[in-house]
Amino acid sequence: MAGVGKSTVAARVARELCLPMVDIDAAVARTAGASVQQIFAERGESAFRRLETDSLCHTLNSEDSTVIATGGGAVCAIENREALAASAVVVWLRSSAEVLIDRLQRSATRRPLLDGDLSANVQRLLREREDRYQEAADIIVDVEHEDVAEVSTMVIEKLRLLHDLNGAD
């Protein structure tokens, strides 16, 4: 979900694990030669979602382990959820609408799906997406009252625990 810290946390986790990191929104923008906001405005959300799926699947098909920051809506497409389930550990950074609204009000980044009534749009998107996030998540980390360092540490600890449990046959 927008404002939860996906890109920031992913970058820190990647750095701490010495892995490459791909931000799917940034990859889409590079591929399209336009910002996410421009893609939404000029081509529409469906065009953005197609580019997002292409970028995500391309990244997941890489041979290398990579930390990926998806956009908040990536898990809405069944194709993306299936691709993630087949080849990734999905971490859901979970937060309440109130905390997200506060963070987003302080953010300079414009998010097309949140234009207009920020509070209503955040609450609507959370209602629409929460089941998908739950379905896709292998790991859930609550980020309400934690800073980036604490969230990153929790993600790494949960990844290591999951790896240890899966590796202990």
CATH of residue 100's domain is 3.40.50.300
pLDDT reading at 169 higher than 50: no
Distance (Å, whole) CA 32 – CA 12? 26
Q: Which domain holds residue 37?
A: 6-167
pLDDT reading at 168 higher than 60: no
- pLDDT tens, residue by residue, 2-13: 889 999 999 999
CA 139 distance to own-chain centroid: 13
The H or E element spanning position 140 is: strand 139-142
Does residue 142 lie in a domain region?
Answer: yes
Does residue 1 lie in a domain region?
Answer: no
- pLDDT tens, residue by residue, 68-115: 999 999 999 999 999 999 999 999 999 999 999 999 998 877 788 888
State how many domains the chain has.
1
Does residue 56 lie in a domain region?
Answer: yes
Tokens of 30: 């590079």
Does residue 153 lie in a domain region?
Answer: yes
Which residue in this structure is represented by tokens 């939860």? 4
Q: How confident is the model at residue 167 (pLDDT cuts 50, 70, 90)?
A: low
pLDDT reading at 166 higher than 90: no
Does residue 21 lie in a domain region?
Answer: yes
Does residue 61 lie in a domain region?
Answer: yes
Looking at residues 143-149, what average pLDDT do you find? 90
